Amino acid sequence: MQTASFLFEVAVFAPLIGFLVAGCFGHLMGDGAARFTTIAFMTCAALAAIGVLGFEMGGGMNTVIVPVADWVHAAGFRADWQLRMDALSVSVVAMVTVVSLLVHVYSVGYMAHESRPVFRFFSYLSLFTFAMLMLVTSDNLLQLFFGWEGVGLASYLLIGYWYDRPSACAAAIKAFVVNRVADLFFLVGISLIFIRLGSVSYDDIFAALPAHVNDTFQLFGTHPLLEVIATLLFIGAMGKSAQLFLHTWLPDAMEGPTPVSALIHAATMVTAGIFLMVRMSPLVELAPVTRDLIVLIGGTTSFFAATVGLVQPDIKRTIAYSTCSQLGYMFVAVGVGAYQASMFHLTTHAFFKALLFLGAGCVIHAVHDEQDMFRMGGLWRKIPLTYIAMWIGSLALAGIFPFAGYWSKDAILEAAWMSGNGMGHYGWLMGCITAFLTALYSWRLIFLVFHGRPRDGHLYEGAHESPPSMMLPVVLLSFGAVVAGLALEPLYIGARHAAFWNGAIAGVPGQSVIDRLEQTPGFIALVPTFAAVLGIAVAYVCYVASPGIPGALARSLRPLYLFLLNKWYFDELYDVAIIRPYRALARLLWKGADEGVIEAIPEGLARLTSGSAGQAVRVQTGSIAVYAFSMLIGLVVLLSTMLFYR
Amino acid sequence: MDDVRPNVHPILLSLVTYLPLAGVVAILLTRGSTQTVETAARWVALWTSGIVFALAVIMWAEFDPTRPGMQFEQQIGWASGAGISYHAGLDGISLMFVLLSAFLTPLSIIGGWRQVTGRVRDYMIAMLLLETTLIGLFSALDLVLFYVFYEATLLPASLMIGIWGGPRRVWASLQFFLFTFGGSLFMLLALLAMWNATGTTDIVALQHHGFGHAMQCWLLAGFIIAFGVKLPLFPLHAWLPDAYTEAPTPASVMLSGVLSKAGAYGLLRFGVLMFPDAARLFAPLVLTLGVIAVIYAAMIALAQTDMKRVIAYSSFSHMGVIAIGLFTLTPEGIDGAIFQMLSHGIVIAALFFCVSAVSWRTETREISAFSGVAHKMPVLATLAMLFVMANIGLPGTGAFVGEFLVMVGALHVSFWLAFLGGTSMILGAVYMLVLYRRVLFGADRGGVVALLRDLTGQELAVLVPLAVVTLWMGVHPGSFLRVFDPAVTGLLHPMATVATVEPHVVAPLTGAG
């Protein structure tokens, strides 16, 4: 165990050292050395993580707590820096470090043409990885929140990496702020857990749960305490995992360099929300209303994102919406209690989504930073290796046997069906429709990019296969996307799952929905695959056989097309409903209330004392500022009275 | 009396308090050409404040948090017949603020090294005087002494605004003076009433004196007005935007970093701890005002066009968080508020220095004049990013620990209090990131930005220690929490409002240091 704990610490902290060395001394040691340093530390981390995984799988997955240092001890509150080593964290750490290492290597080639030094980029990548590792290895919610926010910071820095582009800066701020909105709910949830359950450490929380099942909490009336907590945590998870209403940041996040998108979408960021829900599964289990909400949001998001993905012209944006949609699947699994299936899909998705993004990066690299699919076409002859990789990734994404996605997606849909309640069936229905749409937009991408005649001769002529440093990760990930499902199925959800998870995930062995997957009716189990094959066929008809159809459809159903193209108008809605009023109110408060009234009082007093009292009467002339201010005073009185007589 | 207790270093506290005065005398005695005098004044001020800081660190190391009551105590009869004496000493709470004052003063002196060009000698004298008065007020254990030092801070502070400030300095200085002075009158009234009722002004004695309910309410109201101006509490902040903006940067740092904390410290010492019953009655009002300050100031900060004003309103917004923490009257909330005071003192100081690094070079503070400063000043951009993140409470920086504990405390009171107070997480991120983006990000459009050079050694000497402390407070807050947490729980204990206090009062913290 000593060795495993040590390796585990290496896996978590090596990226931090890489970040610090490259970040602080990068300008001194130069790009080459900085790149080498981060990759060397990431390699250490990945090897150590795989080592731990091997150890743990050999000797049975026991939970070990590795203490690191003291953190916050104040009054009754206690949270320490600790690493928790159990099946859940060890498996995710291995996945994150491996994918991150591949992204690091890929970035060497991808960022080779940058005119400015890129040590900053590599150090941010390592920081991103470290934050994610802290998140998954935490033993208490506060440390998880540290990683959670660290991931937010790193994503902000990486999305805004090209900081002289206004769109990149805007996307970075959007990602950070939208996440922060969700984080507020999360943090209140953590505080509530501490106040009512007495601790923020997982084991203490789970031990305290049975005693608090019937507790209530006053909010908009009386609610079961655990439902309130679970909902607050879920809202937090919705932000990080880009679920409906809080999803707007994710598609914009592709303003960052493509390797960043691969990291965000596959390994380090969006999966955090799923991880949180699975980590807190003993609590989520006890909150049935919240679980229904999770299925509702998850199912709806998967459908919504897939419809938007159908019409996007940008290659990365299409894949970005696909992530949003796949995360919806994972939430459906959480909601129906199939946490193992959720983790399974999270892992397989990490491989094929990283593959798709890196493949898309190769395409973009090949055609010199063009991202519009309608300007590509026929590229398969020029970049055959990338073409094959994209096929593999798409087959895995669409869930075609025997690729990785088949195993995990089917498990989720079967679990949704077998959960047996109405909400589960809703999740199943949405999932099957989405399976069709997923295949449709994936092959739309493939056909538009690689088949047909080149739409832009100039781009086509210049296209070339990427350097080995980029192709190597793509090839390795392709391998993963083929075999991950088949290899991991017995461990994650199959015969050996109880021994593998060994209590890291809630559920009574033999009674949870995951044990009933085998009993799914054969017809139900086949629907998703049929839907996917149908999607591929439709894509073939629309984009290869008779390419006129999509254009005609878009013309005849123009409102629907625009609705989808504009992403259901969420951004516009938020702009009108929140951003503009906020700006206007900010200005009004400043010019009206603060300068108009509050700062006018001393000036008025000054005038009053100097004898010209008439001037002070100006305050009472009934301007908007005065009204705004009296409203504010009214608010004080109102809130005070409320708090007084609660 | 209490002087039977062993006292490690009987004169250490006096040394820390009055050494800056010795520096003042040394500067006054310097003779020679203007050039010589100015150079000497700078170095004397720096050395003096440096030694004071070193001594304060020694006190921090020597301090025994497990021992209840005051340490480094000093008592000299003064007007003993009237129950007034020179009584100074430190508990865990005040020690932290002495340390903060002693830490920020040398940095402010370095920060003003080249930026202050006129009347350097007087400036350094004012800075040292301010340090003495601040340390004096934080360590005062007699209300009269506290009052004297509290008023005395006004002189150097308003002089610094009025003489070395920006274009509207005179009005800003006058406003600052009148507001604080006006507020202090209420403190004076309360002081007289307390002295009249008890015959003593000794703070320790007063703390154990149970005042009647009505009396408590009147006294607390007086103190809330007095310290509410300094903090500031909404709507007593009219002086703040002008004073913080017009003051020279090192003075802004002292004003927002330490002086505003004097208000919060007073509110804690004389409000929450001395009049617990009245505090419970007044809590809803102060909590509401705190929430309003958090949201109101954060919104206004977004609309500002002047970099320094954004930071000024940001400071106001975060002081709202502190007010909330104090008046939750829970150990977590008060611990959080104190921690937030310390971390805010560090972070806001750093942000003012960052702004001045840019505005000093370009002689403008207009946000619209800048774009893409990060191209020219990458080191500043890195440090500023750290402080921006600290200001919006990113875990790993000190602000998070404070804000989180305040939130826990607030949730004891009400869900909505915690939620609305917590919106500073979101609103703060909005205005800080927008500011950062407008000034540091973006394309290099030329103009004033084209001429910028990265940070000088002096600026690094100021910002790097602040960065180190910010991270230290976030990663290992125990170094600070262990000092004042026992004091807070100990002082709160008699109130017995929260059941969670008991076990931790009995069990002293171990292993934290």
Instruction: Write down the pLDDT at residue A625.
Output: 54
Instruction: Write down the pLDDT at residue A256.
Output: 85
- Cα A125 from Cα A240, distance rounded (Å): 18
Nearest to A364 by CA among A462, A436, A252: A462
User: Which residues in chain B are contacts of A163 at CB distance < 8 A?
Assistant: 372, 374, 440-442
- Cα B120 from Cα B114, distance rounded (Å): 10
Residue B180 token pair: 């604080």
Residue A446's identity, in one-letter code, is I
Residue B462's identity, in one-letter code, is V
- In A496-623, DSSP assigns E strands to none
Residues 176-205 of A with CB under 8 A from B: 176-177, 180-181, 183-184, 187-188, 191-192, 194-195
Does B489 sit within 8 Å of A70, measured CB to CB? Answer: no
Cα dist from A159 to A256, B4, B329, B397, B433, whole Å: 4, 63, 42, 22, 14
User: Which residues in chain A are contacts of B401 at CB distance < 8 A?
Assistant: 72, 74
Interface test with A, best of B294, B295, B377, B433 (most A CBs within 10 A): B433
| Complex confidence, ipTM | 0.90
Instruction: Write down the pLDDT at residue B345.
Output: 93
**DSSP category for residue A504:** S
Nearest to A176 among B237, B404, B433 (CB): B433
Higher pLDDT, B81 or A238: A238
* Average pLDDT along chain B: 86
Q: Which residue of B has its CA nearest to A142?
A: B395
The answer to whether B437 and B378 are in contact (CB under 8 A) is: no
How far does the CA of residue B478 sit from the closest CA of chain A (Å)?
6
The answer to which of A120-129, B324-333, B356-365, B386-395 has the lowest mean pLDDT is B356-365
How far does the CA of residue A76 sit from the closest CA of chain B (Å)?
6
Low-confidence ranges of chain A (pLDDT < 50): 612-622, 646
The answer to whether B495 and B385 are in contact (CB under 8 A) is: no
Sort A545 into a burial class: Cβ within 10 Å, 0-12 / 13-18 / 19+: exposed
User: Which residues in chain A are contacts of B396 at CB distance < 8 A?
Assistant: 146, 149-150
**What 3-state class would DSSP assign to B146?**
helix
Residues 416-475 of B with CB under 8 A from A: 417-419, 422-423, 425-426, 429-430, 433-434, 437, 440-444, 475
Instruction: Write down the pLDDT at residue B1.
Output: 40
Residue A240 token pair: 């990080």
Does B179 sit within 8 Å of A589, measured CB to CB? Answer: no
Nearest to B160 by CA among B249, B242, B247: B247
User: Which residues in chain A are contacts of B238 at CB distance < 8 A?
Assistant: 598-599, 601-602
Residues 220-279 of B with CB under 8 A from A: 235, 237-239, 241-242
Interface test with A, best of B404, B436, B476, B505 (most A CBs within 10 A): B404
The answer to whether A276 and A294 are in contact (CB under 8 A) is: no
Residue B464 token pair: 């790097």
The answer to whether A470 and A110 are in contact (CB under 8 A) is: yes
Residues 71-130 of A with CB under 8 A from B: 71-77
Instruction: Write down the pLDDT at residue B289.
Output: 92
Instruction: Write down the pLDDT at residue A508.
Output: 63
Q: How many CB atoms lie within 10 A of CB A73?
A: 21
Does B404 sit within 8 Å of A191, measured CB to CB? Answer: yes
Sort B36 into a burial class: Cβ within 10 Å, 0-12 / 13-18 / 19+: exposed
**DSSP category for residue A619:** G
Residue B389 token pair: 């993140």
Does B175 sit within 8 Å of A636, measured CB to CB? Answer: no
Segment B375-399 mean pLDDT:
91
Segment B176-191 mean pLDDT:
86
A227 near B CB under 8 A: no
Helix-strand-coil split of chain B, %, nearest 5: 75, 5, 20
How far does the CA of residue B324 sit from the closest CA of chain A (Å)?
13
Question: Is the pLDDT confidence value at B496 over 70?
Answer: no
Does B237 sit within 8 Å of A149, measured CB to CB? Answer: no
Nearest to A281 by CA among A205, A190, A169, A359: A205
Instruction: Write down the pLDDT at residue B3.
Output: 45
Does B401 sit within 8 Å of A75, measured CB to CB? Answer: no
A65 near B CB under 8 A: no
Sort B117 into a burial class: Cβ within 10 Å, 0-12 / 13-18 / 19+: exposed
Nearest to B437 among A69, A173, A184 (CB): A173
Residues 253-282 of A with CB under 8 A from B: none
Instruction: Write down the pLDDT at residue B506.
Output: 36
Does A177 sit within 8 Å of B429, measured CB to CB? Answer: yes
Phi-psi region of B496 (alpha: psi -120 to 50; beta: other; left: phi over 0): left
Instruction: Write down the pLDDT at residue B397.
Output: 92
User: Rounded to two decimals, what is the model's pTM?
Assistant: 0.90
Does A77 sit within 8 Å of B405, measured CB to CB? Answer: yes
Phi, then psi, of B76 in degrees rounded to 5 = -130, 130
The answer to whether A348 and A484 are in contact (CB under 8 A) is: yes
Does B394 sit within 8 Å of A149, measured CB to CB? Answer: yes
A167 near B CB under 8 A: no
- Cα A314 from Cα A565, distance rounded (Å): 11
How far does the CA of residue B106 sit from the closest CA of chain A (Å)?
26
Does B443 sit within 8 Å of A640, measured CB to CB? Answer: no
Residues 109-168 of B with CB under 8 A from A: none
